[in-house]
Amino acid sequence: MKDRFFVIVGIAIVVGIIILAAANSGKGTSGSTQQQRGDPKYSVEIRAESVGLEYIIVTNENTGSTVYVLPQYLPMTINFAPNDILTFTVFAKQNYRFNAWSLSDGTFESDNPLAIKPRKSFKMNALFMPSNIIPD
């Protein structure tokens, strides 16, 4: 009877060690993937004219993460890693239309959605116009 007890306890210990090893190896893989991607080193500060903004969707195409930006949370800063591709989709309030992004380097981008692969931190401001002055 004692022999069976020690065999069962021994098997339980071995199974426990295998389960812990498997759990820790999964954590190691996740950590090394994050290290390969790199920690976020850059940021984008998003601003908008709240009069025309309904919301903005920011998607990091590399990680699949999505952030919904509402006017009451602006300005908002979002971090990203080198080589990440960011997509910005703007939704205007009724009677307004998205006009362009004003970027901190002095340029304007009118694409909506706008996909970019930034090489450094930057700022962007969403600009809107009343829809009655922009032809369809």
Q: Give the separation between CA 111 and CA 93, rounded to whole angstroms.
A: 18
Give the residue ranges of the chain where pLDDT is below 70.
1-40, 134-136
For 20, 21, 125, 131, the CA distances from 99, given in Å and listed in that order, are 55, 55, 11, 10
Q: Give the separation between CA 132 and CA 52, rounded to whole angstroms.
A: 13
Q: Domain 42-133 is of which CATH architecture? A: Sandwich (2.60)
Q: Please report the pLDDT score of residue 27 as a whole number.
A: 39
Locate 87 and state its tokens.
């997509």
What's the pLDDT tens digit per position in 101-125? 999 999 999 999 999 999 999 999 9
**Does the predicted TM-score (pTM) go above 0.75?**
no
Q: Of 98, 104, 14, which Cα lies nearest the Cα of 55?
A: 98
Q: Where are the domains of the chain?
A: 1-37, 42-133
